[in-house]
Amino acid sequence: MPAAPMFPVGRFFGMNPFTMMREFTEEMDNIFKGNIPAIPAAPEVWAPKVDVQRSNGDLVVTAELPGLKKEEVKVEMTEEALVLTGERKLEHKEDHEGYHRYERSYGKFYRSIPLPEGVKTEAAKAELTDGVLKITVPVAEAKKAARQIPVGEPAEKPVAA
């Protein structure tokens, strides 16, 4: 015998729409509370907040990486971009009278910051202090070539025949 539907169709005729919405909301709450079979979770991906600015001829990149150690962060520089990668593994354990709680949070991150022309990659420096990664890259001053364009009169348009 087939399983009964969650909402029998005949039940909806004559039902108050607000009652229907309340029941629908309750069913959705049950689903999101985990009252359904567990679905394997994909690894969490997170993107740390990053600030990029120019200061005193340098490109300064600051990334918020709370709780990470320098061994968990990788900084690479290509010709086009500064690439930050890493993985956080946060674990919190509580033991109390009558219960035990253990929470884990894992997540990888990848950030790619485009670099301007003239960066001196060999002079880049990175330091991680109190969860804040600061990368300083000197940038050569780009010479802007400017030329003046003379302003002339518009050319006369030929008269159509």
**Which tops the pLDDT comparison, 49 or 28?**
49
Distances (CA, A) of 137 to 57, 70, 126, 128, 144: 9, 18, 9, 15, 21
Q: Left if phi > 0, otherwise alpha if psi is -120 to 50, otherwise beta: which for 80?
A: alpha
Distances (CA, A) of 110 to 17, 53, 142: 46, 19, 29
What are the pLDDT digits (tens) for 45-62? 677 899 999 988 899 999
Query: What is the model's pLDDT at position 133?
Result: 96
DSSP string, 127-157: EEETTEEEEEEEBPPPPPP-------PPPPP
Report the predicted TM-score, pTM, of the whole model to 2 decimal places. Answer: 0.56
Per-domain residue ranges of the chain: 50-138
3-state secondary structure of 44: coil
Average pLDDT of the chain to the nearest whole number: 79
Distance CA(39)–CA(78), nearest Å, equals: 38
**Which tops the pLDDT comparison, 156 or 56?**
56
What are the pLDDT digits (tens) for 104-155? 777 888 899 999 888 888 999 999 999 999 999 998 876 677 888 889 888 7
Average pLDDT over residues 90-102: 80
pLDDT surpasses 90 at 25: no
Neighbours of 70 (CB within 10 A): 14
Query: What is the model's pLDDT at position 94?
Result: 84
Query: What is the model's pLDDT at position 64?
Result: 93
Query: What is the model's pLDDT at position 95?
Result: 83
Retrieve residue 105's tokens. Answer: 């949070």
Distances (CA, A) of 150 to 22, 82, 111, 144, 147: 72, 41, 45, 19, 10
Fold classified for 50-138: Immunoglobulin-like (2.60.40)
Distance CA(72)–CA(89), nearest Å, equals: 9
